Amino acid sequence: MFFSIIIPTFKRADEVIECLESLTKQTYKEFEIILADGTPGESLEKHTLPYKNKLQLTFLYEEYLGVSEARNLGATVAKGDYFIFLDSDCIFPENYLEKVNESLTKNHLDEFGGPDAAHDSFTVLQKAISYTMTSILTTGGIRGQKKHMGQFHPRGFNMGVSREAFEKVGGYSTFKCGEDIELSIRIIKAGFKVDLIPEAFVYHKRRSTLKQFFNQVYRFGAARINIWSRHKEELKLTHLFPTIFIIGFIKSLVLFIISLFFKMQYFTALSNDMTTEMYASRYSFLSLLCAIPLYIYCIYFLILIIHSSMLNKSLKVGIYSFFTCITQMAGYGFGFLANAWEVIVKGNKNGLKL
């Protein structure tokens, strides 16, 4: 079985080199690599020259080439039975393609996806982001767990599509974000067989700062509305969870501040000889009632920190996971709300510029 690995690139030459270096170590050798680069001003080709003799490498360049356009362009020159779409910030285990080939040989799939994981060399923040993006406690495990909530849709950082399926549905759409999910939806609707290959994982670096991570998940949240505008049945209750979560968290903070006011009133009432104990206890009860929502969130965050710490064997990663969780929920939730306002309320069919 021959694979065409198609990777869109845009700046970040160091990550591209790291990605290519990991692909030189693959135990399964029947593959080619197609880099479709959109870096403005000067392509990354000169950085990839050392790999021309190590890999079957094709380099395509078009200034400001978008992600979907880059993948479609790569597919036009690909020779493989399967097109495997990967992100340039991924590092691949040596047996990645071997596991893919073994799985497809035993069980034919028209499209497959694989999980992502955090490499030991990743920073603490990158490990925390990886946890937040994959944990059952945050995303419900829909990004690569065998048991997940809802329909599994392979994602563009690690997904493979048979030539037949890709050509039948017309490849990637013009979506600027969420294009991988939208393609998976069309492939499923066309009756093709889609599933997860749990062993085909990659080490996905993702963003290196909380601001970059926020911007990324903001686009993910906004893209969910664009997907809904084309596939009405694809908006599920689970997609509302980040929005509900972050609004609820903000409300819990406001209620906690109010609870402090009631607590002050309680102590003031106790100090007043003319006030009965029953009257003062009302303030105590109201204070507790307002504080309960934040206590519930605190219990959730504590469980999340412990879970992340145990999985990553690092308390520091666990603590960072608290911040990445808040960032993820806020980014996705606000992106979802902003684009819902743009599309549903304002009637802009194109939505936000992503």
3-114+154-206: CATH homologous superfamily? Spore Coat Polysaccharide Biosynthesis Protein SpsA; Chain A (3.90.550.10)
Find out whether 159 and 325 touch, Cβ atoms under 8 Å: no
Supply the mean pLDDT for the chain. 89
**201 and 93 in contact (C-beta within 8 Å)?**
yes
pLDDT in tens, 143-191: 555 544 557 888 888 999 999 999 999 999 988 888 999 999 999 999 9
Tell me how far apart the alpha carbons of residues 139 and 205 are, in angstroms, rounded to a whole number: 18
Rounded CA-CA distance 351/354 in Å is 9
Domain ranges of the chain: 3-114+154-206, 123-147+209-354
Whole-structure pTM value? 0.85
> Which residue positions in the chain have pLDDT lower than 50?
147-148
The per-residue pLDDT for range 253-304, each reduced to its tens digit, is 999 999 888 877 777 766 665 555 556 677 777 788 888 999 999 999 999 9
Helix (H) or strand (E) holding 317: helix 315-340
In this structure, the strands spanning 111-113 and 158-162 are: antiparallel
Cα 328 from Cα 242, distance rounded (Å): 8
